[in-house]
Amino acid sequence: MTLPDSAIKHLELKANEIRQDIIKMLLEAGSGHSAGPLGMADILTALYFHILHHNPHNPDLADRDRLVLSNGHICPVLYTTLAHSGYFPVSELKTLRKLGTRLQGHPHRGSLPGLETTSGPLGSGLSQSCGMAYVAKMDQKTWRVICLMSDGEQEAGNTWEAVMFAGKNKLDNLVGVIDRNNIQIDGFTEDIMPLEPLKDKYESFNWHVVDIDGHNFQSIHDAFDLAKTIHSKPTLILAHTTPGKGVSFMENKYEWHGKAPNKQEAEEALTQLRHIEEAIRHA
Amino acid sequence: MLNDQAHLNPKLFDDDIEQVPSRNGYGEGLVLAADANDQVVALCADLTESTRTEEFAKKYPNRFIEIGVAEQNLAAVASGMAAAGKVPFITSYAVFSPGRNWEQIRTTVCYNNQPVKIIGSHAGISVGPDGATHQALEDLAIMRALPNMVVVCPCDSIEAKKATVAIAKNSKPSYLRLSRSDVPVITTESTSFEIGKAEVFYEGKDVAIIACGQMVYRALLVAKELKEHGISIRVINNHTIKPLDQKTILKAAEETRAVVTVEEHQIHGGLGAAVAELISQNFPVPIKIIGIEDRFGESGEPEELLEKFGLTTENIKKAVLQVLRMKEK
């Protein structure tokens, strides 16, 4: 299905608003991850405002789709998207990482409505997603499990244990998404520990793999739609994204993987994002 | 004297007392738990027969999940299944689970607060010929350190069965420690079992021996023998390492004023440490901790190893006499 321009424009504006809030919350927090959250803002927006079956007023809805954030460190984008969806007040975003907050530095299930799991240590989110998807099949439920992963965590052995399990058990109700932004804390993934050919690797484990531009809402929509038609295999969406997307001095810079902007940098980032916002409005 | 209320095996002190590995009790208990609750599932990491998960797998093939040699996946898949409403039991040897997958247990089970049941078989030096790599001697320490975790080490197969049924119902992350080799069956179906409630198996007032696992049997042998020498020993079967039964243990400390702990585990971080932490902060009395003395095991027959590593009635007796002397000073 081709999305109408108005729908795409609406999603682009929402993602831009989420990016602006990410910058504001990171400035307020004084620490946290910038590049990953900005890079994944479009996919999170598409999921919560278009793709997932969920209800912000009933986070425990029995047949909701489960979104598992395996790379917990990009939680600023998840928190911001959840708040904008209506799970909790947007004003609470400024409590990120502060004493007593429900917005822990890495997500803690039970602290905040809408979180399916506790995460941070890399490599185990896909396993948890497999467990959920396995139960959905056992109990003949129709809900899907979406597992968001970083590319860096493809270096973890636990990830591949789960990749094998999902392939063996033909978990076609599971969609894995890799944020293929090519950076990790210490540098570029292909320098730290080469991952390619990632597509071939997943395919050889009985996964169906789709490559997409992770900033194109039509492509994101199509990939999740396609996943519904793939039977007897889990689907992997290899989402090529630009880390730090929308803020020129952060884009593709691994130095911005794990740090927050200072006041001046945040102001500059917000100016750039507002220019993009204007461009979307007038497109 | 023996506590009649504990309803222990009438053949307790006979030479031909029945011997059964505690893992067998787990196998029976798992089937009972599954009969009672259709949400109970079991996951195994390529050790289905030796962890005694086989009966469950035969009876409930659709609720049994083979994970392969992948213990990190074992724990985290179970966490996901618990999140979706199941009561997952995960079984392996204790060195692998909770040994290899400790962080997954910490984050995805304990901090995430999902009721995954971790069954660590082949714990202790009595694993025998497989040697040190397969003898888990640190599992109680690493599980006890985790918030939200319940830690149970049953004294025999019947208690292991009851413990399995009990943890299936407690809605909490739980660790159950099991033995590979034959262990004397000291309890009966009538012996009461409640998580967090230590049982006095032998009444006495001079010294308290607090033990878990198969060491409870040896403690009882010592109590009976020393009674003939005029020393009155209280033997406490402390099957739940966490939460510790503070009331029963502190009462024993107050009434006997001399404590010996015995476990098939490193002297650091296990039962003895838990008891010492409690007693030293609330009612300090002399205490001796008997366990593996900060070293790895080796190959051998279970009895030979228990002897070589000092988990003997002789050593328990020595410790009893030591704490008695310390108390009298």
Shortest CA distance from A72: residue in chain B: B107
Q: Does B44 touch chain A (CB under 8 A)?
A: no
Which of A131, A139, A161 lies at the smallest CB-CB distance from B80? Answer: A131
Residue A174 and residue A143: Cα distance in Å, rounded?
Answer: 9
Strand A145-150's sheet: what is its strand order?
A: A66-69, A145-150, A174-180, A235-240, A208-213
Which of A110, A129, A161 lies at the smallest CB-CB distance from B80? Answer: A129
Asked whether the beta carbons of B234 and B256 are under 8 A apart, the reply is: yes
Residue B254 and residue B283: Cα distance in Å, rounded?
Answer: 7
Tell me the pLDDT tens digit for each residue of B17-36.
999 999 999 999 999 999 99
Residue B129 to residues A12, B92, B125, B304, Cα–Cα distance (Å)? 64, 18, 10, 10
Task: Please write down the HEC assignment for all residues of A43-87.
Answer: HHHHHHHHHCCCCCCCCCCCCCCEEEECCHHHHHHHHHHHHHHCC
Query: Residue A158 is encoded by which pair of tokens?
Result: 């636990």
As for the ipTM of the complex, it is 0.94
CA distance A1 to chain B (A): 32
Q: Does B39 touch chain A (CB under 8 A)?
A: no
Residue A69 to residues A114, A127, B120, B291, Cα–Cα distance (Å)? 11, 12, 29, 43
Q: Break chain B into its structural domains and give their ranges.
A: 4-16+190-328, 19-184
Q: Three-state DSSP class for A274?
A: helix
Average pLDDT score over residue span B165-190: 97
Asked whether the beta carbons of B42 and B88 are under 8 A apart, the reply is: yes
Q: Three-state DSSP class for A184?
A: strand
Residue B82 CB neighbour total at 10 angstroms: 27
Residue B42 and residue B32: Cα distance in Å, rounded?
Answer: 13
CA distance B206 to chain A (A): 48
Q: Is B71 a catalytic residue?
A: yes
- Does B72 contact A161 at a Cβ distance shorter than 8 Å? yes
pLDDT for residue A283:
87
For an interface test with B, which of A127, A144, A155 has the most B Cβ atoms less than 10 Å from its Cβ?
A127
Q: Is residue B329 scored above 90 in pLDDT?
A: no
Which of B78, B88, B112 lies at the smallest CB-CB distance from A117? Answer: B112
Instruction: Find the length of chain B.
Output: 329
Residue B57 CB neighbour total at 10 angstroms: 17
pLDDT for residue A100:
96
Residue A153 CB neighbour total at 10 angstroms: 21
Nearest to B222 by CA among B322, B308, B317, B303: B317
Find out if CATH 3.40.50.920 is the number for domain B4-16+190-328.
Answer: yes
Q: Does B100 touch chain A (CB under 8 A)?
A: no
Q: What spatial distance separates the first Cα and last Cα of chain B, rounded to whole Å? A: 27
Tell me the pLDDT tens digit for each residue of A216-252.
999 999 999 999 999 999 999 999 999 999 999 999 9
Tell me the pLDDT tens digit for each residue of A179-226.
999 999 999 999 999 999 999 999 999 999 999 999 999 999 999 999
Q: Does B1 touch chain A (CB under 8 A)?
A: no
Tell me the pLDDT tens digit for each residue of B115-147.
999 999 999 999 999 999 999 999 999 999 999
Please list, residue by residue across B158-184, b when 16 or more beta carbons sit within 10 angstroms of its beta carbon and e when fewer do.
bbbbbbbbbbbeeebbbbbbbbbbbbb
- Does B107 contact A161 at a Cβ distance shorter than 8 Å? no
Residue A38 and residue A247: Cα distance in Å, rounded?
Answer: 8
CA distance A108 to chain B (A): 7
Weakest mean pLDDT among A68-77, A84-93, B43-52: B43-52
Task: pLDDT band for A1, please (50, 70, 90 cuts).
Answer: confident
Q: Does A273 touch chain B (CB under 8 A)?
A: no
What's the pTM? 0.96
| H or E element in which residue B235 lies | strand B233-237
CA distance A121 to chain B (A): 8
For an interface test with B, which of A161, A164, A168, A173 has the most B Cβ atoms less than 10 Å from its Cβ?
A161
| H or E element in which residue B265 lies | strand B259-266
Which of A108, A131, A135 lies at the smallest CB-CB distance from B111? Answer: A108
* B19-184: CATH class: alpha beta
Residue A217 and residue A158: Cα distance in Å, rounded?
Answer: 31
Pairing between β-strand B87-93 and β-strand B40-44 as defined by DSSP bridges: parallel
- CB < 8 Å to B82, chain A: 131
Q: Does A116 touch chain B (CB under 8 A)?
A: yes
Shortest CA distance from A165: residue in chain B: B67
Average pLDDT score over residue span B166-172: 98
Q: Break chain A into its structural domains and give their ranges.
A: 5-281
Instruction: Give me the half-sphere count of Cα atoms (radius 13 Å) on the Cβ side of residue B102.
Output: 14
Nearest to A122 by CA among A73, A60, A166, A52: A73
Q: Is residue A166 scored above 90 in pLDDT?
A: yes
Indicate the average pLDDT of chain A. 97
Which of A117, A133, A135 lies at the smallest CB-CB distance from B108? Answer: A117
Query: Residue A38 is encoded by which pair of tokens?
Result: 């900005």
Are B4-16+190-328 and B19-184 in the same CATH fold?
Answer: yes
**What CATH number is given for A5-281 in this structure?**
3.40.50.970
- B214: which DSSP letter? T
Average pLDDT score over residue span A114-125: 97
For an interface test with B, which of A60, A71, A118, A170 has the most B Cβ atoms less than 10 Å from its Cβ?
A118
